[in-house]
Amino acid sequence: MHVHEIAEHGRSILAPQAPRRAAKRDAGRLAATRTLTRIRKSSMLRTMFARLREWILLTRYKRNGLQVADDCRFSGIPDFGSEPYLISIGKHVAIGSGVTFLTHDGGTFAFRHMPQYKGVIRYGRITVFDSCMIGMGAIILPGVSIGPNSVIGAHSVVTKDVPANTVAAGVPARPIMSTEEYAEKCLRETPEYDEVAYRKDKRTELLRIFPRPW
């Protein structure tokens, strides 16, 4: 067999392999696309069911007497306890995840069996006025009133009334600055950023401003 015949024979053997490789690549891409589609659909379903569950819980609390304005924002439904009818929340209030409202003092269990304390009860109404923010994991105790335009720090335990326009934090929560002072502090510490890029793709813009250390 001559050289040109050998080369032609080799090409004839290799020629069918190219379409096979292309077919494998296409099949791999199709499988990856289908997997991503399933993941997106699963994520969308989880989000949908989570929102449905939150709506059902909030509806139950409202039917049991909870007062809450329609424009309030929740990161997950708070624990409104066993007496939601003793809780009133005003307009434009944001509440972080894991917040607990306690309208009764369960500590009375320790002595209610004694005859002289048999009739003791401890309840209190909780009132959150307009334009407040309650941070993640905060606990609000019975009888507390949180004034308008106030901020409660994450994981704080609020045992006493919080005045209007106040930032309170800690265990127990104490006033640490005015809301105006906090707003000015946040303004000073706001980094330069592209607002259009932030609205379009928050993750990418934040990673540009705050790059990973490694």
- Which residues carry out catalysis? 113
Do residues 160 and 126 touch, judged by C-beta distance below 8 A? no
- 142-157 residues labelled b (16+ CB within 10 A) or e (exposed): bbbbbbbbbbbbebbb
Q: Where are the beta strands (DSSP E) in 35-86?
A: 67-68, 73-74
Maximum pairwise Cα distance, the chain: 116
* Strand pairing report for 166-169 and 174-178: antiparallel
Do residues 86 and 123 touch, judged by C-beta distance below 8 A? yes
Closest CA to 72 of 49, 44, 54, 95: 95
